[in-house]
Amino acid sequence: MEIQERAGERTLSLVFSGEMDHHGIRDALRRVELAVDAALPRTLTLDFGGVTFMDSSGIALILRAQQRMQSLEGGMILCNVPQQAKRVLEAAGINRLVTIKS
Amino acid sequence: MKKTPVNEVKLKFPSRSSNEGFARGTVACFAAQMDPTLSELEDIKTAVSEAVTNAILHAYPDTIGTVSLKIRILQENLLEITVRDRGRGIADVEQARQPMFTTGGEGRSGMGFTIMESFMDSVSVRSTPERGTTVVMKKRLSEKSRKRA
Ligand SMILES: Nc1ncnc2c1ncn2[C@@H]1O[C@H](COP(=O)(O)OP(=O)(O)OP(=O)(O)O)[C@@H](O)[C@H]1O
Ligand SMILES: [Mg+2]
């Protein structure tokens, strides 16, 4: 899985591509945290446009990122979530905990 | 009397995380002969990914063990997937199946079983501590006649 960072004026976009499973997120949790700590954004956007598959590993990543942003008193948005990943979020009830922009 | 399945395949692989994608891809390929819809195929792949990841991550936390995968087409449109490990086992299966229950620490959310249950018609879990865990999942695919309609 690949992560591209796009930092703006107190915003940070992380663009994910590839398979977001346990194998794929091995280093991703840490990389997300490092990127957030470096940019200290008011708003973090997780762009899932390139995610070809996601399982519960993606849920942990999303919830971790959200916690990090809450501790910075910032917000988080999830965007471009493909159908398969969206169904996983719904099955886990995560769609009620995070802001998803389609 | 035991009915012979329409078709079946069995495989074993070491519990390396790089085999997660292989396992769900293999199941998707095999299930393709049932002419599933795209969303049925995605459901199946996701459930397999959860079960296989659990075997890799929880059954063999510090060793490489063997994961067995059996895929059977029981009837024209009834798929059964069995994921078995000979690992650590689960002491309390009912508790393990609860949403948010995890022993996996920060990279885990405790939603794996919940996702399997939501994407498959039935999920059964048999486990013995120190002996291993067997997860059997079944899904009935939509009738082809209905899909064309
Ligand atoms: N094959 C297995 N062997 C041993 N323990 C298991 C196995 N499968 C599941 N478990 C136990 O059941 C718990 C719940 O599993 P579940 O898949 O629901 O959540 P998780 O794997 O912890 O997190 P997630 O799947 O959301 O990443 C695990 O934390 C683990 O303790
Ligand atoms: Mg799991």
- Condensed to tens digits (0 to 9), the pLDDT of residues A36-53 reads 999 999 999 999 999 999
Q: Looking at the complex, does the CB of residue B115 fall below 8 Å from at least one CB of chain A?
A: yes
Q: Which two tokens stand for residue B101?
A: 């229950």
Chain-chain contact of B53 with A22 (C-beta, under 8 angstroms): yes
Span from the CA of B109 to the centroid of ligand 2 (angstroms)? 8
CB of B23 closer than 8 Å to CB of B56 = no
Work out the mean pLDDT of chain B and round it to a whole number. Answer: 94
C-alpha angle A95-A97-A101 in degrees, rounded to nearest 5: 55
Can B40 be counted among the known catalytic residues? no
The verdict on whether B50 is a catalytic residue reads yes
Q: In the prediction, which pLDDT does B1 show?
A: 64
ipTM: 0.94
Q: Do the chains contact at B115 and A57, CB–CB below 8 Å?
A: no
Confirm or reject: Cβ of B60 under 6 Å from ligand 1: no
In this prediction, residue B4 carries a pLDDT of 87
Quote the ligand 2 centre to B2 CA distance (angstroms).
32
Ranges of residues in chain B whose predicted pLDDT is under 70 = 1-2, 144-149
Give the pLDDT of residue B143. 82
